[in-house]
Amino acid sequence: MYVESKVELNLPKSKILDLIREPGNLNKYHPFCKRNEAIKWPGNGSVDHLEYHNGMKFNREFYNWTDNGYDLRIGGKRNMAIVNWVVEGDESRSSLRVRINPNIKNYILIENRLIQRLFWFLYIKPMLQSYINHVIKGFNHFMKTETNVSPNQFGTHRWFS
């Protein structure tokens, strides 16, 4: 179970990688991010802190830092999700795909698999899909305009605004 969103840009792959590897990069394009601060940076073992506009706070732990992006864990001991940031392309055209793989047990406290699946399809998946679509819209906006997104620029989100 996952959600993902992708943007294709007429920009070099290196430009996308440079942005997502910057410490505190979410401050520029994440519409629900109040603050994003690097604690340990860069490379494998990197850690940053993300605070949402609603006051929710998470540390993100990075691993698999490669020439094509990185993976991260969010949620600390609760392990809310694994998130993959994948950059593909060349020197003229590239893309960023972000996939969220939630640990469903941390979203649904009921053990029944059928109820978990129903809750996933009816509530969690649409909420996470909306969230990641907003983040990708913000990324696209920043890459095209080089101006930071404003809070909730593309609409609010029940979980993070």
**Which residue ranges make up each domain of the chain?**
3-145
- The letter for the amino acid at 2 is Y
Task: Please determine, for residue 36, whether its predicted confidence score (pLDDT) is greater than 90.
Answer: yes
Q: What is the pLDDT of residues 120-135, one digit of tens each?
A: 999 999 999 999 999 9
- The domain made up of 3-145 has a fold known as Alpha-D-Glucose-1,6-Bisphosphate; Chain A, domain 4 (3.30.530)
pLDDT confidence of 24, banded at 50, 70, 90? very high
Nearest to 20, CA basis, from 81, 75, 96: 96
What is the SS3 string spanning 2-30?
Answer: CEEEEEEECCCHHHHHHHHCCCCCHHHHC
Q: What is the pLDDT of residues 92-102, one digit of tens each?
A: 999 999 999 99
What is the value of pTM for the model shown? 0.95
Residue bearing tokens 């691993």:
63
